[in-house]
Structure 1
């Protein structure tokens, strides 16, 4: 069973729009995830379990070796928690790996925010507990940044070799 066997990746959006009945007011939350200089903004609203990043399903995201990093929130919480929501993520900045980590953080934070605002506090706390127990960076941003190079040396801390004779 491949990655796309989770039933989260919709085939056609047009088909979904026709089949979805008109419901009450729009329930949506917008959150962001960050890693180094990469920023991912996730829009989470009521839907059918669709997750897209920059308009592409999760199984088309590169690099392929890190696709399971993207799926960690889904695998941890189970697809039934994602079945009632659609998540669309826009990501920019940083490199490939930093973008992957920003995306997974934004997906996790979006689900927690949606459950807090529109479902109930108990299930939100349960979701939050599962995510933090597994990996804290799924909900909390990593504050580390690259230290700037200083004069008198080849890098941030190392100094050029000094000769006394």
Structure 2
């Protein structure tokens, strides 16, 4: 079985990765730099609340000093803010696995499997009788 080769441009050493969560898709571009991370042309320090910042910084904290050698540019589309954040952290993690290799993969899998593996859970479609109330909601009945 042949190993996947990372998608690297010739002289610039740019790596492209993707991540998905529900309807959100994030595309990350890694290039040698000073450790700046931007998402949709904004610094990650200006995005959302503290939970959002912590979630997107998780892969960077797990990699420690090795993360500071790359500038990461993320473009996220679709879904909501949390779906985009989860997709972005998956794209970041996959990029570090391509750069560093098996050591990064073991670190991410031991911390949180969803950093590398796509999460297949979806919302259940609403059913016809009372479709505005939810997929399993039925009229309440009195027993007496």
Give how far 1:109 is off: 1.0
Deviations 1:52-90 (A, max 9, x none): 111111111113332111111111120x21122221000
Equivalent pairs counted in the alignment come to: 133
Give the one of 17, 36, 39 matched to 1:53. Answer: 39
Residue 40 of structure 1 contacts residue 90 of structure 1 at CA under 8 Å; is this kept in 2? yes
1:55-74 maps to which residues of 2 (within 5 A)?
55-74=41-60
Q: Which residue of 2 aligns with 1:5?
A: none
Q: Which residue of 2 aligns with 1:157?
A: 136
- Listed as ranges, the gaps of 5+ residues in structure 2 are 1-9
Q: Distance in 2 between matches of 1:62 and 1:56?
A: 11
> For the aligned residues, what is the CA RMSD?
2.1
Q: TM-score, normalised by structure 1?
A: 0.72
Q: Distance in 2 between matches of 1:97 and 1:32?
A: 16
Q: Which residue of 1 aligns with 2:94?
A: 109
Residue 33 of structure 1 contacts residue 105 of structure 1 at CA under 8 Å; is this kept in 2? yes
Residue 38 of structure 1 contacts residue 93 of structure 1 at CA under 8 Å; is this kept in 2? yes
Q: TM-score, normalised by structure 2?
A: 0.81
Q: Verify: 1:147 aligned to 2:132, yes or no.
A: no
48-57 or 152-161, which deviates more:
152-161
- Listed as ranges, the gaps of 5+ residues in structure 1 are 1-23, 116-122
> Which structure carries more helix by proportion?
1
Q: Distance in 2 between matches of 1:160 and 1:37?
A: 31
